[in-house]
Amino acid sequence: MATQPEKTLETFPNPNPRRDYHIHMEIPEFTCLCPKTGQPDFATLFLDYIADEKCVELKSLKLYIWSFRNEGHFHEDVTNRILDELVGATQPRFMRLTAKFYVRGGIFTNVVAEHRQQGWQPLQAVDLAQFGAQSNTRG
């Protein structure tokens, strides 16, 4: 049986729910149709999230993304819809979806949508470059 597009997002248990760790995915083959002209729109999607109890399963994500190929969507609509459905499936601590649409009519469109779990605060970033600079000053 051939693989088909699917709207279902499957998940699996976060293997380390006690730790905030960054999951980054790049999806370079997103397509949908312009709702005005019916012409194809192409984008690279960047998904960044910090899981809580569940992570998104990659094959189901691929089939889910594929399901938009023959649907008409404005860039802003489809980016927010995908984020909302991913948040609904995974309930992450944090999630950001960046959609970088390729040029159409001389215009590039980038849409960034975010979700933060109520009460979640990111940990302070560690700047390791500062430690390298200090060690170079010692004689």
Q: Which residues are catalytic?
A: 34, 41
pLDDT in tens, the chain (139 residues): 578 999 999 999 999 999 999 999 999 999 999 999 999 999 999 999 999 999 999 999 999 999 999 999 999 999 999 999 999 999 999 999 999 999 888 899 999 999 999 999 988 888 888 776 555 554 4
Name the nearest CA neighbour of 68 among 102, 43, 91. Answer: 43
pTM (2 decimals)? 0.88
- Please tell me the predicted confidence (pLDDT) of residue 134: 56
CB 33 within 8 A of CB 70: yes
User: The CATH number of the domain where 47 resides is what?
Assistant: 3.30.1130.10
- Please report the pLDDT score of residue 6 as a whole number: 93
pLDDT for the residue 112: 98
User: In total, how many domains does the chain have?
Assistant: 1
Structure tokens at 139: 């004689």
**Which residue range is the domain that position 39 belongs to?**
11-136
Q: Is residue 81 part of a domain?
A: yes
Q: How far apart are CA 5 and CA 117, in angstroms?
A: 29
pLDDT value at position 61? Answer: 98
State residue 135's pLDDT score: 52
Q: What's residue 137's pLDDT?
A: 52
In a domain, 128, yes or no: yes
What is residue 105's predicted lDDT score, i.e. its pLDDT?
81
Amino acid letter for position 86: L
Asked, for residue 4, whether it belongs to a domain, the answer is no
* Residue 3: inside a domain: no
CB 82 within 8 Å of CB 71? no
> Is residue 71 a part of any domain in this protein?
yes
